[in-house]
Structure 1
Amino acid sequence: MAKQPLSYFLIRLLSFLGVLLIVSGLTSENGDPKTPSVDNKIRGVCWVGGDSISTHNFDDLVANNVQWISQTPFGLQTHYNTPELHFASSGWYWGERDIGIEHTARLARERGLKSILKPHIWLRRSGGKWRGDIEMESAEDWDRWFENYSKFILHYANIARESNIEMLCIGTELLHPAVEFPDKWRTLIKEIRKVYPGKLTYAANFYLEYEAITWWDAVDYIGIQAYFPLAEDHAPQLEQIKLGWKPHIEEMKKVSQKFGRPVILTEVGYRNDVKAASEPWLWPSQIDNNTIEVSDDMQADCYRALFESCWDEDWLAGVFIWKWFHSTWKYPDYSTYQAYRKKRIDSLVAVGKISHHRASRKVFFSPQGREAERVMKEYFGK
């Protein structure tokens, strides 16, 4: 969980004031808030764009009852407080380039899968910051940032339209821009809808952000990056994890009712270690593999708790599981990806960027090849 320089109470106040502006039509005849109802839930995974693919790369998804994939291209921002933003549309991995996104969406559709395009911002020189810390130092810089971001997201809106991608996520975990500049987002959304006819969402961080956004009524779905803490203790029992979902379910339901929009968990996932329920937001590189207790059972229980606690909620439109590597990458247990990874890590060790223990990392987010995959398949099949 990243440190947030905005006051928690200020964010709560902004959220409250925004709710007062929501149209009265979001209540039922007896004055109670409406709860949006979704019949056919999104059964999705966050797709890792690697090398060139063919239709057979989707075999595992179809076999696991997956119906949606989330594709993530990147925009590059040098520092958290600089307004320049560069597209990565022709670099990085093939699957993150424009041509790869278009090709992947087409092949997925041939296998009966729908797509959401979900661009992220990547800080090139983070200095311990991440996109949730993006904050400009002047009004002029904010104007430049939004001008650049608008070009960035409109580029992908056009890609989504041309590729017949069913949904577009207009931003991911941009706390300060999303909370502090609601009018700019409403203006941007109007511009996006001029070029893209599909459904829109925004992926807000679970911590402080999603409850503070005041313009959810302008998009079709409330998106949440759902790495909620579900237990205080490490290695909790299944019933404890399910109990940990209760306050988060109530808060998500309230926001859904206020804005009359269903919720998508745009990312939700768990590592295979004993801290998966208590600190699900930790990236594997933040885990000490020399001391952590690996637990495929804990990962599976976290998924069971997710589905048993949330799946039948009327306001929940669906989930995207973080994350899924296609068979070209052979992740996490296959030789092709391991060979690629060893070569990459050896090069980083050689220049002193990482330590040797990272090369034998045992903790991953992906459910692939573990009990968690069977849990996902079971509930996606219902």
Structure 2
Amino acid sequence: MTTQAKAAGSAAAAAELGYIAGMTWGWTGVRGTWEGPEADFSLSEMAKLNVGWTAVTLGALQATAQSTEIEYWNEPTVADDEVRSAIRRAKALGQKVCLKPVVNVADGTWRAHINFFDMDIPGEPTWGQWFESYARFILHYADIAREEGCEMLCIGCEMVQADKREAEWRALIAQVREAYSGLVTYNCDKYQEGNVKWWDAVDLISSSGYYPIDQWEEQLDRIEAAVAPYGKPFFFMEAGCPSRDTSPARPNDWSLAGRPDGEAQRAYYEAMFGACGRREWVRGFVLWDWPARLYAAPDAAANDDYCMYGKPAAQTVKDFYGSRREGLMDKQAWLHELQQELQDNILGFWQTHALDELHGGFIGEMDSSGKVNPEADKSLVLNARILWTFAAAHRRTKNSQHLALAERALEQLRTVFYDELHGGFYWMATPDGRPSEDKKQVYGQSFVLYALAEYMLATGSTAELPLAEETYRLLERWAHDPVHRGYIEALARDWSETDDLSLSGKDLNERKSMNTHLHVLEGYTNLYRVWPSDGLRDRLRELIELHLERILDGETGHFKLFFDDEWNSATRDVSYGHDIEGSWLLCEAAEALGDPELLKQTERAALQMAEATLLEGVDEDGGVFNELHEDGRLDDSKDWWPQAEAMVGFLNAFQLSGEERYVQAAERSWSFIRQHVRDEDGGEWHWQVSRDGRPDRTQVKIGAWKCPYHNGRACLEALHRLESLTKEDALA
């Protein structure tokens, strides 16, 4: 692609740019400060202010204002690995990134005073020498910006004397466009918007908006007149005010004497946002600034710098950015896509392809090409999940075909899987309906309860309540641990002890597991909605408390996975899909229980888990990794079900917090599903895709674990939550 074509493409992208709700992060970029828990915490806290753009900003030094070598490879400048890591972590939080390399002068001279003779003088340093070094500096970071997918590159900041060198800047921009195809901007200094004569060469015009609190209207009139002739989008690449009582009158002076005053800073932001918010041509801000290592929150009142962390201005920024953020998917469009996906690609697939016309019920297995394995056993989990899915669909659609499929699954549970002698349900059955694995896996019994309750909610009939009550009482009699609480994994057919505890070939053979308890919680929650008995209420409370006290690691925000009887953890593996799924299922349980204090505890835990998943478990493309093993190995493949649960879990986190980065994460989950997980040709969803989005076609399309429950439920939940949010928007 030619330089001209790249410029044209960038110009088109700039014209379609939404509001830039940005923050400067990491200045000055001191080596060794951009990685680790403190840096992660800083980025995470910044994102909570509805920030959608991060300007990853670093400084490199030249010795004096007349030096011609910029030593960007030397300390204290952050190392390239730190720069790349910061970009990736910002993107994992759903941020767009502008990479902003800035030159500074080591002796303390402000970079605006970097200057040389207008013409080359023998024996004197020249502009040509300086721009040669500056080009190497900027092009180095242009390469990083390209390789890491940065949406924007800022090629300079507040170079007042250098601004006059029009030919050199145009030549540099042409070089940049050879290396980088994203948006290009230049950050001129305050009051200098009319002095740059080469604005036509960049994609966006930006400046430093450090104007006195009472001069915003006057300065905006001046800026508009200066930039309007270029027809380029304009935003403030820097703007802000220290939290100091004297600073609103002189916000650019970071050394101005005064006392700490958070309200003065808040008032400045309100005035700035108020004035600029009335000017449609102002397309946003990248506020100054947010350090890589924050001060402690209790010290915020005594801090008088620009950062608004823990100060009154933080809420002002959050509210303004929340009202201005664009670029999220239109809710109506999202609702339409979800409805179509549910009806046509999920429910329609199972209605058409999953019926066992020979033996009744549903087939046991189909490969990714659509070939049925007639010898595959039938799974209790698969059939219970089919019952739940079509009952839940009928609750929404009132479609008689959905009810018929639910009743078909219910008939299979009663005639094929139910143990007439001992009660409960077999784990597996042969294609013709005989038990092939007759143990009583507590996980499976829980899904029966989940499904029976959903069927009762869908039909209004309580005909299945005696069976549900019987199953619940069997679990309480034989599986519940009265000493240490919780439930053991499995029992023999007659409910006696068994050594065969594991849920699947990949699970540890331990007495208790997170997975089983999460789904007992799920089943008991749904059952409580139709049968709110005192005993069930007590057990549901116990399950919520167990998740908060024993299963959730309060330090990491991750579930522990396997335990002995006394809740000693057997592994430190992390399952990102279960974390984000559990975050919203716990909230559902606490809401059903109706205890306000327990609900508050659960919501705090849910946000902690959603945050941990977003920070650690979400790839740059929005996909959720499978697992992190305790030895540090990452299973970076992406199964279908964590993607489904992420969409719901992040929507839930948004509803709890109001932080748009969560709804953006949910949208990115949906985008990843649409692009990589749903099977455009064969219908339904692929079981697994690789990190780069290639489907694993060796995995089945229908099987003991591959069912319509995760993706069908995700669509139903997302529809419900988005409809609720749309209604709230209409009432606001």
TM range, smaller chain: 0.7 to 0.9
Separation of aligned partners in 2, 1:119 and 1:82: 18
Separation of aligned partners in 2, 1:259 and 1:130: 29
Separation of aligned partners in 2, 1:361 and 1:78: 34
TM-score, normalized by length of structure 1? Answer: 0.73
Choose from 79, 82, 102 the match for 2:84. Answer: 102
Choose from 61, 79, 98 the match for 1:116. Answer: 98
TM-score, normalized by length of structure 2? Answer: 0.39
Residue 138 of structure 2 aligns with which residue?
Answer: 153
Amino acid in structure 1 at the alignment position of 2:176:
I
Amino acid in structure 1 at the alignment position of 2:306:
F
Separation of aligned partners in 2, 1:169 and 1:142: 20
Residue 287 of structure 1 aligns with which residue?
Answer: 256
Choose from 176, 183, 194 the match for 1:211. Answer: 194
Q: Following superposition, which runs of at least 4 residues in structure 1 exceed 6 angstroms of deviation?
A: 36-39
Amino acid in structure 2 at the alignment position of 1:380:
Y
Residue 475 of structure 2 aligns with which residue?
Answer: none
Separation of aligned partners in 1, 2:42 and 2:63: 34
Asked whether 1:302 is paired with 2:284, we answer: no
Asked whether 1:364 is paired with 2:347, we answer: no
Secondary structure in structure 1 of the residue aligned to 2:271: helix
Asked whether 1:249 is paired with 2:220, we answer: yes
Separation of aligned partners in 1, 2:205 and 2:21: 16
Residue 476 of structure 2 aligns with which residue?
Answer: none
Asked whether 1:45 is paired with 2:14, we answer: no
Amino acid in structure 1 at the alignment position of 2:152:
M
Amino acid in structure 1 at the alignment position of 2:92:
E
Whether contact under 8 Å (1:38, 1:315) holds in the other structure is no
Asked whether 1:130 is paired with 2:110, we answer: yes
Greater shift, 299-308 or 75-84, is seen at 75-84
The alpha-carbon distance between structure 1 residues 115 and 53, as it changes in their structure 2 partners (threshold 3 A), is farther
Separation of aligned partners in 1, 2:253 and 2:154: 23
Whether contact under 8 Å (2:183, 2:203) holds in the other structure is yes
Separation of aligned partners in 1, 2:296 and 2:246: 20
Amino acid in structure 1 at the alignment position of 2:169:
W
Greater shift, 195-204 or 271-280, is seen at 271-280
Aligned residues: 298
Whether contact under 8 Å (2:260, 2:303) holds in the other structure is yes
Residue 170 of structure 2 aligns with which residue?
Answer: 186
Residue 279 of structure 2 aligns with which residue?
Answer: 313
Rg comparison, structure with higher value: 2
Secondary structure in structure 2 of the residue aligned to 1:72: strand
Separation of aligned partners in 2, 1:361 and 1:64: 21
Residue 13 of structure 1 aligns with which residue?
Answer: none
Whether contact under 8 Å (2:205, 2:232) holds in the other structure is yes
Residue 197 of structure 1 aligns with which residue?
Answer: 181
The alpha-carbon distance between structure 1 residues 86 and 361, as it changes in their structure 2 partners (threshold 3 A), is farther
Separation of aligned partners in 1, 2:43 and 2:60: 26
Question: Alpha-carbon deviation of 1:316?
Answer: 1.3
Whether contact under 8 Å (1:272, 1:299) holds in the other structure is yes
Separation of aligned partners in 1, 2:15 and 2:281: 5
Whether contact under 8 Å (2:88, 2:148) holds in the other structure is yes
Separation of aligned partners in 1, 2:141 and 2:74: 13
Amino acid in structure 2 at the alignment position of 1:228:
Y
Whether contact under 8 Å (2:42, 2:294) holds in the other structure is no
Whether contact under 8 Å (2:193, 2:227) holds in the other structure is no
Amino acid in structure 2 at the alignment position of 1:154:
L
Separation of aligned partners in 2, 1:120 and 1:194: 20
Per chain length, whose mean CA-contact separation is higher, i.e. which structure has more relative contact order (CA < 8 Å, sep 6+)? 1
The alpha-carbon distance between structure 1 residues 39 and 161, as it changes in their structure 2 partners (threshold 3 A), is closer
Separation of aligned partners in 2, 1:325 and 1:145: 29
Identity %: 28
Residue 322 of structure 2 aligns with which residue?
Answer: 381
Whether contact under 8 Å (2:34, 2:86) holds in the other structure is no
Question: Alpha-carbon deviation of 1:256?
Answer: 2.6
Encode CA deviations 1:331-360: one digit per residue, 9 max, x unaligned.
25468xx9xxxxxxxxxxxxxxxxxxxxx9
Amino acid in structure 1 at the alignment position of 2:19:
K
Encode CA deviations 1:179-236: one digit per residue, 9 max, x unaligned.
2x111111111110011000000010013x2210000011011110111123xxxxxx
CA RMSD of aligned residues (A): 2.3
Question: Alpha-carbon deviation of 1:82?
Answer: 2.2
Residue 276 of structure 1 aligns with which residue?
Answer: 247
Question: Alpha-carbon deviation of 1:57?
Answer: 4.7
Whether contact under 8 Å (2:246, 2:256) holds in the other structure is no
Amino acid in structure 2 at the alignment position of 1:331:
Y
The alpha-carbon distance between structure 1 residues 39 and 307, as it changes in their structure 2 partners (threshold 3 A), is farther
Question: Alpha-carbon deviation of 1:61?
Answer: 2.7
Secondary structure in structure 2 of the residue aligned to 1:210: coil
Encode CA deviations 1:291-314: one digit per residue, 9 max, x unaligned.
x23321110000001111102422
Secondary structure in structure 1 of the residue aligned to 2:187: strand
The alpha-carbon distance between structure 1 residues 114 and 53, as it changes in their structure 2 partners (threshold 3 A), is farther
Gaps in structure 1 of 5+ consecutive residues: 1-35, 231-240, 339-359
Secondary structure in structure 1 of the residue aligned to 2:75: coil
Separation of aligned partners in 2, 1:56 and 1:277: 29
Separation of aligned partners in 2, 1:64 and 1:74: 25
Question: Alpha-carbon deviation of 1:160?
Answer: 0.6
Asked whether 1:81 is paired with 2:45, we answer: no
Please show how residues 22-61 of structure 1 align to structure 2 within 5 Å: 40-48=18-26, 49=29, 50-53=33-36, 57-61=42-46
Whether contact under 8 Å (1:81, 1:137) holds in the other structure is no
Question: Alpha-carbon deviation of 1:276?
Answer: 1.7
Question: Alpha-carbon deviation of 1:79?
Answer: 0.9
Whether contact under 8 Å (2:42, 2:291) holds in the other structure is no
Greater shift, 134-143 or 366-375, is seen at 134-143
Encode CA deviations 1:100-143: one digit per residue, 9 max, x unaligned.
111111111111101111111111113xx210011113634111
Separation of aligned partners in 2, 1:294 and 1:57: 22
Whether contact under 8 Å (1:272, 1:365) holds in the other structure is yes
Separation of aligned partners in 1, 2:99 and 2:147: 12
Separation of aligned partners in 2, 1:293 and 1:68: 31
Choose from 294, 314, 321 the match for 1:330. Answer: 294
Separation of aligned partners in 2, 1:37 and 1:193: 18
The alpha-carbon distance between structure 1 residues 39 and 184, as it changes in their structure 2 partners (threshold 3 A), is closer
Whether contact under 8 Å (1:82, 1:136) holds in the other structure is no
Whether contact under 8 Å (2:247, 2:256) holds in the other structure is no
Residue 206 of structure 2 aligns with which residue?
Answer: 223
